[in-house]
Structure 1
Amino acid sequence: MRIDVINPNTTASMTAAIGHAAQAVAAPGTRIVATQPSFGAPSIEGHHDEVWGAAGVTEQVRLGQAAGADAFVIACFGDPGLAAARELASGPVIGIAEAAFHCASMLATGFSVVTTLTRTCVIAEHLVVQYGFERTCRGIHGTDIAVLELEDPASDAYGRILASARDALARDRSGAIVLGCAGMADLCRRLQQALGVPVVDGVVAAVKLAESLVSLGLGTSKAGDYARPLPKTYVGLAAPHGPVAN
């Protein structure tokens, strides 16, 4: 089984770290291919970044389909391009926010999200509503750690995320924490040990869900709004990305 884990930003070191976290939980026989777009932003930290990230996701899904990928994981907490990727893909496509919310809701009656910049909290709030988790998500907390600072030991990212998670558990009366950035994946186990509650990283949750769906022989429906995109000619910057007839 091949699962392509797509980092929608263009920072190669983050792509490698995400791929390592994904491979660490993959079942024997599962091959993780960590990819990133050939264009876009070095980090996804707002709506404008997300537009380019979503376009990059579709680029990587097309390439992965041609290379024989069985499933895809979108490794950005905004789940950019998820619906478009599902139009393109035959196999399952899992967004890490969607996966994390589902898993956390099965581990506790209420969970809190700890993410990076406060300005991105509204993006997570929109996803909570879109996915129907208003009753189980009790709070979304920004740490104001920039995405690329997660890789900088001088930022004390672990300490700041730990403090925010402790505050969230007490303030929200939550029983679990969801990490709101793919770049936090390598901190998950330490945080869980320190907090004493389930800490859900969406990258590994999405990989295991993707494996399960592929093992069950299930793929993305091609009926309704996930039907393949209508073939047409795109122009300008989008010219190489126009849908073609299958």
Structure 2
Amino acid sequence: MSDKSFDPNPPHRNFYGRRHGKTLRRSQKGYLSEDLGALRPRGITALENPGRAPVDPGAIFRDDRPLWLEIGFGGGEHMVHMAAAYPDIGMIGCEPFINGVAMLVGKIKAAGVENVSVHPGDARDMMDVLPDGVIAKAFLNYPDPWPKTRHHRRRFVTPEHLIPLHRVMAHGAEFRVATDIPSYVRQTLDEVPKAGFELVSLRADAWPDWVSTRYEQKALREGRTPTYMSFRRV
């Protein structure tokens, strides 16, 4: 990857999980070196913004459109689908797994969507520098389950992540969580309301504008039942 400013893991915090998987195909390497730079919001990484000064959200898409945030977009199916279905919003995705970033950029090019911005790093980087109340909707779809009890503190649904998320979301904004892990459901229902969100819906069927992802399909193949939760920022 030729973008020398890419720093997905600022030195002041722990990072859990993988950044690289299988060897990238030549086309995927091209997406990262030739296309990712134009999609990246500026002033997010510690190298670009060492003082962690607030960024201007209007500069991300050069207008004042509503901003939606996807936390860990996996292979990018949901992010591209939502960007295409809602062309008047700005879709921001954060994902430190570089193979997923390459897959997303390929999907963006194939779909021709232009209302997307991609941070190839931890969502906390983005939440560090966004002003208060600028995110109109946020998504956490099939996050890393960290199934062992001693690793539950690594999950996104902990105060370390939820309190900054609450800060950057607008009053009344929707936070959607999808998972197939029962203990993740329980932790979500326990921790998210404590951070200032109220439960709106708890369902076994997906939202009307949902698109099935590879992670949902894997869960169904392996006999696990997905749960879809919606919260409102209060």
More helix by share: 1
The answer to which structure, 1 or 2, has the higher relative contact order (CA under 8 A, 6+ apart) is 1
- TM-score class, shorter: 0.3 to 0.5
TM-score (norm 2): 0.35
TM-score (norm 1): 0.33
More strand by share: 2
